[in-house]
Amino acid sequence: MTRVLVVGSDTREEQTLLGRLREIAGLPPEGLQRCVDLDQCDLLLVRDTPALRSAAQHMASKRPAMRLWLHDDAGAVHDGRSSGELHLDRAQIQHALAPPPTPTTTDGLYLASGAKQVTRLLRQRLQEKQGRAVLSLQGQPQLLIDFEHDQMVPLYVHPVQGPSLAQQLGDVFELLALQELSLARFQALAENLSRQPLRPLLWQMAQYGDNWTDFDRRLQQNARVSLLRWPDFRVLAHQHDGFRLCSLLLKKPCTLAECTELLELDSNATRAFMRSAYLCGYATVQVPEPAAAPSPAPAKLGASALLARMWRSVRHRTGTHA
Protein backbone atom coordinates (compact mmCIF):
# COMPACT_ATOMS: atom_id res chain seq x y z
CA MET A 1 0.00 0.00 0.00
CA THR A 2 1.20 3.50 -0.90
CA ARG A 3 0.09 6.39 1.30
CA VAL A 4 -0.25 9.72 -0.51
CA LEU A 5 -0.40 13.21 0.98
CA VAL A 6 -1.97 15.61 -1.54
CA VAL A 7 -1.25 19.32 -1.05
CA GLY A 8 -2.63 22.31 -2.91
CA SER A 9 -5.86 20.68 -4.15
CA ASP A 10 -9.42 20.73 -2.89
CA THR A 11 -11.16 17.54 -1.80
CA ARG A 12 -12.74 16.81 -5.19
CA GLU A 13 -9.48 17.29 -7.10
CA GLU A 14 -7.63 15.18 -4.53
CA GLN A 15 -9.98 12.26 -5.12
CA THR A 16 -9.62 12.71 -8.87
CA LEU A 17 -5.83 12.65 -8.65
CA LEU A 18 -5.78 9.56 -6.44
CA GLY A 19 -8.27 7.79 -8.69
CA ARG A 20 -6.18 8.56 -11.78
CA LEU A 21 -3.02 7.21 -10.14
CA ARG A 22 -4.84 4.02 -9.05
CA GLU A 23 -6.13 3.55 -12.59
CA ILE A 24 -2.70 4.05 -14.16
CA ALA A 25 -0.97 1.71 -11.69
CA GLY A 26 -3.76 -0.87 -11.78
CA LEU A 27 -4.18 -0.74 -8.00
CA PRO A 28 -7.28 -1.55 -5.92
CA PRO A 29 -8.64 1.25 -3.69
CA GLU A 30 -6.67 0.00 -0.70
CA GLY A 31 -3.45 -0.05 -2.75
CA LEU A 32 -3.21 3.76 -2.84
CA GLN A 33 -4.68 5.65 0.09
CA ARG A 34 -4.91 9.23 1.28
CA CYS A 35 -2.59 10.16 4.14
CA VAL A 36 -2.63 13.23 6.40
CA ASP A 37 0.62 12.66 8.32
CA LEU A 38 3.70 13.84 6.44
CA ASP A 39 6.02 11.52 8.38
CA GLN A 40 3.86 8.50 7.55
CA CYS A 41 3.30 9.12 3.82
CA ASP A 42 5.18 7.41 1.01
CA LEU A 43 4.40 9.99 -1.68
CA LEU A 44 3.93 13.76 -1.43
CA LEU A 45 1.85 15.02 -4.38
CA VAL A 46 1.90 18.82 -4.63
CA ARG A 47 0.33 21.35 -6.99
CA ASP A 48 3.18 22.94 -8.94
CA THR A 49 3.29 26.56 -7.85
CA PRO A 50 6.55 28.35 -6.98
CA ALA A 51 5.70 28.67 -3.27
CA LEU A 52 4.42 25.14 -2.78
CA ARG A 53 7.24 23.65 -4.86
CA SER A 54 9.89 25.38 -2.75
CA ALA A 55 8.28 24.38 0.54
CA ALA A 56 7.71 20.78 -0.58
CA GLN A 57 11.28 20.35 -1.83
CA HIS A 58 12.59 21.65 1.49
CA MET A 59 10.48 19.14 3.43
CA ALA A 60 11.30 16.28 1.05
CA SER A 61 15.03 16.96 1.45
CA LYS A 62 14.67 15.84 5.07
CA ARG A 63 12.78 12.69 4.09
CA PRO A 64 14.92 10.86 1.52
CA ALA A 65 12.69 7.76 1.43
CA MET A 66 9.59 9.77 0.46
CA ARG A 67 8.74 10.38 -3.21
CA LEU A 68 7.91 13.95 -4.27
CA TRP A 69 5.74 14.49 -7.34
CA LEU A 70 4.45 17.81 -8.67
CA HIS A 71 1.37 18.18 -10.87
CA ASP A 72 0.08 21.05 -12.98
CA ASP A 73 -3.50 22.15 -13.69
CA ALA A 74 -3.65 19.84 -16.71
CA GLY A 75 -2.86 16.82 -14.54
CA ALA A 76 0.68 16.26 -15.85
CA VAL A 77 2.98 14.83 -13.19
CA HIS A 78 6.73 15.28 -12.87
CA ASP A 79 9.41 14.25 -10.41
CA GLY A 80 9.89 16.96 -7.79
CA ARG A 81 13.34 15.71 -6.87
CA SER A 82 14.71 16.02 -10.40
CA SER A 83 16.96 19.01 -11.14
CA GLY A 84 15.05 19.55 -14.39
CA GLU A 85 11.39 19.21 -15.24
CA LEU A 86 11.20 15.44 -15.66
CA HIS A 87 7.64 14.59 -16.73
CA LEU A 88 6.42 11.14 -15.74
CA ASP A 89 4.48 9.27 -18.40
CA ARG A 90 1.96 6.51 -17.70
CA ALA A 91 4.58 3.77 -17.87
CA GLN A 92 6.83 5.54 -15.35
CA ILE A 93 3.95 6.19 -12.95
CA GLN A 94 2.85 2.57 -13.22
CA HIS A 95 6.38 1.34 -12.60
CA ALA A 96 6.74 3.57 -9.53
CA LEU A 97 3.41 2.66 -7.92
CA ALA A 98 2.62 -0.85 -9.11
CA PRO A 99 3.54 -3.69 -6.73
CA PRO A 100 6.49 -5.84 -7.80
CA PRO A 101 5.64 -9.11 -9.53
CA THR A 102 5.09 -12.06 -7.26
CA PRO A 103 8.14 -14.34 -7.26
CA THR A 104 7.62 -17.49 -9.31
CA THR A 105 8.53 -19.61 -6.28
CA THR A 106 5.58 -18.38 -4.23
CA ASP A 107 1.81 -18.16 -4.64
CA GLY A 108 1.62 -14.99 -2.54
CA LEU A 109 -0.16 -11.71 -3.05
CA TYR A 110 1.81 -8.47 -2.80
CA LEU A 111 1.58 -6.86 0.65
CA ALA A 112 4.28 -4.21 1.03
CA SER A 113 7.67 -3.05 -0.26
CA GLY A 114 10.27 -0.63 1.04
CA ALA A 115 11.49 -0.15 4.60
CA LYS A 116 8.59 2.02 5.76
CA GLN A 117 5.77 -0.18 4.41
CA VAL A 118 7.44 -3.43 5.44
CA THR A 119 8.00 -2.10 8.97
CA ARG A 120 4.38 -1.02 9.22
CA LEU A 121 3.10 -4.41 8.06
CA LEU A 122 5.49 -6.43 10.22
CA ARG A 123 4.31 -4.56 13.31
CA GLN A 124 0.67 -5.10 12.35
CA ARG A 125 1.00 -8.81 11.65
CA LEU A 126 3.09 -9.44 14.77
CA GLN A 127 0.30 -7.93 16.82
CA GLU A 128 -2.43 -9.88 14.99
CA LYS A 129 -0.48 -13.15 15.23
CA GLN A 130 -1.94 -14.58 12.05
CA GLY A 131 -0.85 -15.38 8.51
CA ARG A 132 2.36 -16.30 6.75
CA ALA A 133 4.55 -14.38 4.33
CA VAL A 134 7.79 -14.48 2.37
CA LEU A 135 10.35 -11.69 2.60
CA SER A 136 11.97 -11.12 -0.81
CA LEU A 137 14.87 -9.08 -2.14
CA GLN A 138 14.19 -7.78 -5.65
CA GLY A 139 11.93 -10.74 -6.41
CA GLN A 140 14.18 -13.38 -4.83
CA PRO A 141 12.71 -15.05 -1.69
CA GLN A 142 15.01 -14.78 1.32
CA LEU A 143 12.97 -15.67 4.36
CA LEU A 144 9.67 -17.34 5.26
CA ILE A 145 7.71 -15.81 8.14
CA ASP A 146 5.07 -17.49 10.32
CA PHE A 147 3.37 -14.70 12.26
CA GLU A 148 1.08 -17.09 14.12
CA HIS A 149 3.98 -18.93 15.77
CA ASP A 150 6.45 -16.01 15.75
CA GLN A 151 8.92 -17.99 13.66
CA MET A 152 11.04 -17.54 10.54
CA VAL A 153 12.65 -19.95 8.09
CA PRO A 154 15.81 -18.85 6.24
CA LEU A 155 15.77 -20.11 2.65
CA TYR A 156 19.53 -20.03 2.24
CA VAL A 157 22.42 -21.30 4.33
CA HIS A 158 24.52 -18.32 5.34
CA PRO A 159 28.23 -18.95 5.95
CA VAL A 160 29.64 -18.48 9.42
CA GLN A 161 32.28 -16.15 8.03
CA GLY A 162 30.97 -12.85 6.65
CA PRO A 163 27.86 -10.75 7.34
CA SER A 164 25.03 -12.35 9.30
CA LEU A 165 21.57 -12.80 7.83
CA ALA A 166 20.32 -9.92 9.99
CA GLN A 167 23.03 -7.60 8.68
CA GLN A 168 22.47 -8.60 5.06
CA LEU A 169 18.73 -7.92 5.30
CA GLY A 170 19.14 -4.78 7.41
CA ASP A 171 21.56 -3.24 4.91
CA VAL A 172 19.03 -3.65 2.04
CA PHE A 173 15.85 -3.00 4.04
CA GLU A 174 14.59 -0.44 1.50
CA LEU A 175 14.72 -3.10 -1.26
CA LEU A 176 12.75 -5.76 0.64
CA ALA A 177 9.15 -6.76 -0.07
CA LEU A 178 6.56 -8.92 1.70
CA GLN A 179 4.17 -11.30 -0.08
CA GLU A 180 1.39 -13.33 1.49
CA LEU A 181 1.67 -17.11 1.55
CA SER A 182 -1.05 -19.70 1.92
CA LEU A 183 -0.57 -22.32 4.62
CA ALA A 184 -0.06 -25.06 2.04
CA ARG A 185 2.58 -23.11 0.14
CA PHE A 186 4.37 -22.11 3.34
CA GLN A 187 4.53 -25.73 4.49
CA ALA A 188 5.83 -26.85 1.10
CA LEU A 189 8.60 -24.23 1.10
CA ALA A 190 9.51 -24.75 4.75
CA GLU A 191 9.63 -28.54 4.61
CA ASN A 192 12.90 -29.94 6.00
CA LEU A 193 14.17 -26.43 6.78
CA SER A 194 15.02 -25.15 10.24
CA ARG A 195 12.48 -22.91 11.97
CA GLN A 196 13.91 -20.19 14.19
CA PRO A 197 12.53 -17.41 16.42
CA LEU A 198 11.50 -14.39 14.36
CA ARG A 199 11.93 -11.43 16.70
CA PRO A 200 15.62 -11.92 17.54
CA LEU A 201 16.32 -11.63 13.80
CA LEU A 202 14.17 -8.49 13.46
CA TRP A 203 15.84 -7.00 16.53
CA GLN A 204 19.26 -7.43 14.94
CA MET A 205 18.07 -6.23 11.51
CA ALA A 206 17.15 -2.86 13.01
CA GLN A 207 20.76 -2.39 14.11
CA TYR A 208 21.95 -2.16 10.49
CA GLY A 209 21.29 0.01 7.46
CA ASP A 210 20.44 3.70 7.10
CA ASN A 211 16.69 3.43 6.60
CA TRP A 212 15.66 4.99 9.93
CA THR A 213 15.71 8.67 8.96
CA ASP A 214 12.01 9.27 9.65
CA PHE A 215 12.06 7.32 12.90
CA ASP A 216 15.14 9.17 14.16
CA ARG A 217 13.55 12.49 13.23
CA ARG A 218 10.55 11.66 15.41
CA LEU A 219 12.90 10.94 18.30
CA GLN A 220 14.56 14.32 17.72
CA GLN A 221 11.11 15.90 17.91
CA ASN A 222 10.86 14.65 21.51
CA ALA A 223 8.64 11.71 20.64
CA ARG A 224 7.82 9.59 23.67
CA VAL A 225 8.54 5.89 23.44
CA SER A 226 6.36 3.44 25.36
CA LEU A 227 7.10 -0.26 25.83
CA LEU A 228 4.00 -2.43 25.51
CA ARG A 229 5.50 -5.51 27.17
CA TRP A 230 8.77 -7.18 28.01
CA PRO A 231 10.68 -8.22 24.88
CA ASP A 232 11.71 -11.80 24.26
CA PHE A 233 14.64 -12.35 26.62
CA ARG A 234 16.60 -13.83 23.72
CA VAL A 235 16.82 -10.39 22.11
CA LEU A 236 18.20 -8.82 25.27
CA ALA A 237 20.67 -11.62 26.03
CA HIS A 238 23.06 -10.23 28.64
CA GLN A 239 22.48 -6.57 27.79
CA HIS A 240 22.21 -4.98 31.22
CA ASP A 241 21.38 -1.56 29.75
CA GLY A 242 18.61 -3.14 27.68
CA PHE A 243 16.94 -4.46 30.83
CA ARG A 244 17.22 -1.04 32.45
CA LEU A 245 15.60 0.63 29.43
CA CYS A 246 12.77 -1.91 29.48
CA SER A 247 12.11 -1.31 33.16
CA LEU A 248 11.97 2.44 32.61
CA LEU A 249 9.82 2.42 29.44
CA LEU A 250 7.35 -0.05 30.92
CA LYS A 251 6.75 2.35 33.80
CA LYS A 252 6.36 5.54 31.78
CA PRO A 253 6.82 6.88 28.23
CA CYS A 254 10.11 8.72 27.80
CA THR A 255 11.95 10.66 25.14
CA LEU A 256 15.38 9.68 23.92
CA ALA A 257 16.95 12.51 25.93
CA GLU A 258 15.12 11.49 29.10
CA CYS A 259 16.29 7.89 28.79
CA THR A 260 19.91 8.85 28.31
CA GLU A 261 19.84 11.33 31.19
CA LEU A 262 17.93 9.21 33.70
CA LEU A 263 19.94 6.05 33.03
CA GLU A 264 23.19 7.75 32.00
CA LEU A 265 23.32 5.81 28.72
CA ASP A 266 24.91 6.49 25.36
CA SER A 267 22.40 8.17 23.02
CA ASN A 268 23.37 6.03 19.99
CA ALA A 269 22.93 2.80 21.93
CA THR A 270 19.59 4.01 23.29
CA ARG A 271 18.42 5.00 19.80
CA ALA A 272 19.41 1.56 18.47
CA PHE A 273 17.40 -0.10 21.26
CA MET A 274 14.34 2.01 20.37
CA ARG A 275 14.64 1.12 16.66
CA SER A 276 14.73 -2.58 17.45
CA ALA A 277 11.88 -2.41 19.96
CA TYR A 278 9.77 -0.52 17.40
CA LEU A 279 10.43 -2.91 14.50
CA CYS A 280 9.60 -5.91 16.69
CA GLY A 281 6.29 -4.36 17.77
CA TYR A 282 7.28 -4.05 21.41
CA ALA A 283 7.21 -0.24 21.43
CA THR A 284 5.03 2.63 20.27
CA VAL A 285 6.22 6.14 19.42
CA GLN A 286 4.15 9.29 19.90
CA VAL A 287 5.26 12.75 18.78
CA PRO A 288 3.74 15.40 21.09
CA GLU A 289 1.40 18.01 19.69
CA PRO A 290 3.16 21.38 19.35
CA ALA A 291 2.20 23.80 22.11
CA ALA A 292 0.47 27.02 21.09
CA ALA A 293 2.98 29.85 21.17
CA PRO A 294 1.75 33.04 22.97
CA SER A 295 1.76 35.81 20.35
CA PRO A 296 5.09 35.05 18.68
CA ALA A 297 7.08 37.91 17.23
CA PRO A 298 7.04 38.20 13.43
CA ALA A 299 9.63 35.86 11.94
CA LYS A 300 10.64 34.47 8.60
CA LEU A 301 8.17 31.79 7.61
CA GLY A 302 9.87 28.41 7.32
CA ALA A 303 9.16 25.99 4.50
CA SER A 304 7.27 23.56 6.74
CA ALA A 305 4.99 26.26 8.16
CA LEU A 306 4.45 27.74 4.71
CA LEU A 307 3.30 24.42 3.30
CA ALA A 308 1.01 23.76 6.26
CA ARG A 309 -0.61 27.21 6.05
CA MET A 310 -1.16 26.98 2.31
CA TRP A 311 -2.69 23.55 2.70
CA ARG A 312 -5.12 24.80 5.35
CA SER A 313 -6.01 27.72 3.14
CA VAL A 314 -6.87 25.40 0.26
CA ARG A 315 -8.97 23.16 2.51
CA HIS A 316 -11.06 26.12 3.64
CA ARG A 317 -11.57 27.38 0.11
CA THR A 318 -13.07 24.34 -1.55
CA GLY A 319 -13.32 24.73 -5.29
CA THR A 320 -10.34 27.06 -5.62
CA HIS A 321 -6.65 26.45 -6.16
CA ALA A 322 -3.76 27.44 -3.97
Which of 203-217, 244-258, 284-298 shows the lowest per-residue confidence on average (mean pLDDT)?
A: 284-298
pLDDT in tens, 23-79: 888 888 888 888 887 777 888 889 888 888 888 888 888 777 788 898 888 778 888
Alpha carbon 238 to its chain's center = 30
For the chain, the maximum distance between any two Cα atoms, rounded to a whole number of angstroms, is 69
pLDDT tens sequence across 131-178: 999 999 888 899 999 999 999 999 887 666 778 899 999 999 999 999
Question: Model confidence over 172-203: pLDDT tens digits?
Answer: 999 999 999 999 999 999 988 999 999 999 99
Residue 248's closest CA among 216, 288, 290, 277? 277
Q: Which of 71, 36, 67 is nearest to 53 (CA)?
A: 71
Strand-pair partners of 4? 34, 43
What b/e sequence results for 119-141 when a residue is b if at least 16 CB atoms lie within 10 Å of its CB, and e otherwise? bbbbbebbeeeebbbbbbeeeeb
Predicted local distance difference test score (pLDDT) of residue 320: 45
The CATH number of 2-97 is 3.40.50.2300
Residues in the chain: 322
Query: What residues does each domain of the chain span?
Result: 2-97, 110-205, 213-286
